[in-house]
Amino acid sequence: MADLVVILGSGFSKPAGLPLAKEINSYFERDNARTILKYSSGESKWMDFANDTYKHNGESGYDHLAYGILLNEFVRQYISDRIQFINYEDFYQYVVDNLYNEEIIETIKKKALISFKTHFPHIEKGHYYDNYTHAINHFQPREFKSLINHLIDDLLYVRNPIEEVKLLYKEFIDFCKKYDTIDFITLNHDLLLERLIQEYSDGFTKDQKILKSSTGESLNLFQASFSKKINLIKLHGSIDTYRYIVAKQEGSIITPTGESLFFKTHDYNEKQSPVRYDQDSGEEIQTFHWEIDPQFITGTRKKEIFSSPGMYKTLFEESENRICGCKTILIIGYSLGDEHVNEAIELAILASDLLEKIIVVNPSKKIPFDVTDIENHHLNAINELKTLL
């Protein structure tokens, strides 16, 4: 087990220009009639961050306006039921829970058509009105869920120059260099930590013959491989992780088995066209793939997901073991809002014979557990870590 366990929440990524939850909320609460870009690949983005090429491609079809209107109406329906916009994770859960609620969906569709005519009266009078409103009239639950995933994903890219970002985290990097073995456990979906650290294992490996690209290259597949001195556990998933739904393929008939594989990539073709092989015979056994949503956990039912067999349960169990087996715990930017993580931290404090020190970097909250028998520090900002060097 590692000398140091680092637990990271969204506050860790804030200095790099990434949003906190309340800032993500604001994107969903505004009028989004003209802010959505929709691509033929099935992906979606905010117009806010797109260059001219991305804007052109995302507006070249008909659906982008309809999905902006649908998002508006789903938010209004959510607020009507909840009284207020609680947060984007609660909104996501509301969407997932109601995608097949016929009464709610019909209400949203009717209001969306009225809103569409209000926002775009010139389109209503044109020849292509039916095309522009097709996504409303023929609402696709899976497509709408995918939209929300991609829009959250689009907010979580490090867009500031990386060399400037590294300077902001100098004290953090220097502090980590004091330790020979480190387990990073992050609740964040972004790729900031990967940009800051060098050699690490994250449970994924290309040393496998199960899943390959369309050109025959082995993909970076999750195999629960944490074998280096520095390990990275992305407890809630990541914006560069994708799911491959395992299915029995017989000609044009595809029958899902209920199993899934998870792989990481930044390559467009790899996430669009992975191919599954029989590990023993090397025979190509599945070419059809229909899941291109980035895989990260959001919503309000994380504990249920961690209880179900699969990658996330493995990640959580790995995290529990590592938190309970370390000498020092460093917590940065975590608001103590995830019950499953809090339980693991509390267990380490109460039951671990190894834990010697706990450091919390959070300007607003101190750790709510009794740490009187352990050396503990509460800091307000990352740069204060230099006082502990």
pLDDT value, residue 248: 93
**Residues of 342-370 as b/e, b for ≥16 C-beta within 10 angstroms?**
eebbeebbeebeebebbbbbbeeeebebe
Read off the DSSP letter of residue 224: E
The CA distance from 106 to 112, in Å, is 10
How open is the CA angle 366-370-372, to the nearest 5 degrees?
Answer: 100
Cα–chain center distance at 100 = 23
Handedness of CA 153, 157, 159, 160 (dihedral sign): positive
Compute φ and ψ for 209, nearest 5 degrees. -120, 20
How open is the CA angle 108-112-116, to the nearest 5 degrees?
Answer: 175
pLDDT value, residue 72: 98
The CA distance from 306 to 187, in Å, is 13
Element (H, E) at 260: strand 253-264
| Alpha carbon separation from 146 to 142, 150, 180, 261, 381 (Å, rounded) | 6, 6, 41, 18, 35
Dihedral angle at the C-alpha atoms of 379, 380, 386, 388, nearest 10 degrees?
0
Strand partners, 383: none
Element (H, E) at 222: strand 220-225
Taking only Cα atoms into account, the Rg of the chain, rounded to an integer number of angstroms, comes to: 23
The CA distance from 128 to 41, in Å, is 22
pLDDT value, residue 343: 87
> Residues 245, 256: contact at Cβ < 8 Å?
yes
* Length of the chain as a residue count: 389
Q: How are beta strands 253-264 and 275-277 bridged, if at all?
A: unpaired
End-to-end CA distance of the chain: 22
Read off the DSSP letter of residue 201: B
Element (H, E) at 45: strand 44-46
pLDDT value, residue 169: 97
- Set out the domains of the chain in order of their start, with CATH numbers: 1-18+160-208+224-240+295-389 (3.40.50.1220), 21-154 (no CATH)
CA atoms within 13 A on the CB side of 13: 25
- Residue 144, amino acid: F
The CA distance from 12 to 153, in Å, is 17
Q: What is the pLDDT along the chain (389 residues), one digit of tens a residue?
A: 789 999 999 999 999 999 999 999 999 999 999 999 999 988 999 999 999 999 999 999 999 999 999 999 999 999 999 999 999 999 999 999 999 999 999 999 999 999 999 999 999 888 899 999 999 999 999 999 999 999 999 999 999 999 999 999 999 999 999 999 999 999 999 999 999 998 899 999 999 999 999 999 999 999 998 989 999 999 999 999 999 999 999 888 899 999 999 999 999 999 999 999 999 899 999 998 888 999 999 998 888 999 999 999 999 999 999 998 899 999 999 988 888 888 888 888 887 788 899 999 988 777 777 777 888 899 999 999 999 88
Q: Which of 288, 280, 296, 274 is nearest to 219 (CA)?
A: 274
Per DSSP (E only), the strands in the chain are 4-8, 36-38, 44-46, 182-186, 203-205, 211-212, 220-225, 230-234, 241-250, 253-264, 275-277, 284-286, 328-332, 357-361, 375-379
Compute φ and ψ for 374, nearest 5 degrees. -125, 140
Give the residue carrying structure tokens 């699969």: 310
